[in-house]
Amino acid sequence: MSKNAEILIVDDEEIVQRSYARSLAGQHCKVEVASNGPAALKALGQRPFDVVLLDLMMPGMNGMTVLKTIKEKWPDSEVIIITGYPAIDTAKQAVTLGAFDYLAKPAGPDDIVNAANAAMLHKRWLLRPEQQAQCS
């Protein structure tokens, strides 16, 4: 993964935050955590993140609302939904709202790293100057 990759982990469970951060620690990226939707949106407002690992079921603002806001305000951020309650309906909704990927918990370290790497590659491909010229 790129040394410049900025990753935001959004989950209300501290053990999950630490697990994902530990999985990404050897990947030479910068990781920040947020424990809820409002904290995640505040962090995004302060600086851009390349990848957001986002839990669906959080108290207060749920992950779908956070996803929708992220894609409206920071469309260049790739969002990976990670949920303990996977369902086809929520997977479809997440992809429709612009999620890059949808993983079921428990997601292992390799799953987290592979999804984040794939999201970064996708982002780089989308932001290539020649790709933008073709889409104009």
- Evaluate whether 78 touches 51 at the Cβ level (below 8 Å): yes
- Evaluate whether 50 touches 77 at the Cβ level (below 8 Å): yes
Comparing 84 with 124, the larger pLDDT belongs to 84
User: Whole-prediction pTM value?
Assistant: 0.88
Peptide bond into 75 cis (omega under 30): no
Q: Token pair for residue 12?
A: 């209300």
DSSP one-letter code for 85: S
Tens of pLDDT, residue by residue over 66-80, are 999 999 999 999 999
CB half-sphere exposure, 18, CA atoms < 13 A: 3
**For domain 6-135, is the CATH number 3.40.50.1220?**
no
Tens of pLDDT, residue by residue over 113-124, are 999 999 999 888
What is the average pLDDT value for the chain, to the nearest integer?
89
Cα–Cα distance, 117 to 135 (Å, whole number):
24
Give percent of the chain with pLDDT exceeding 90: 79
What are the residue boundaries of the structural domains of the chain, listed by start?
6-135
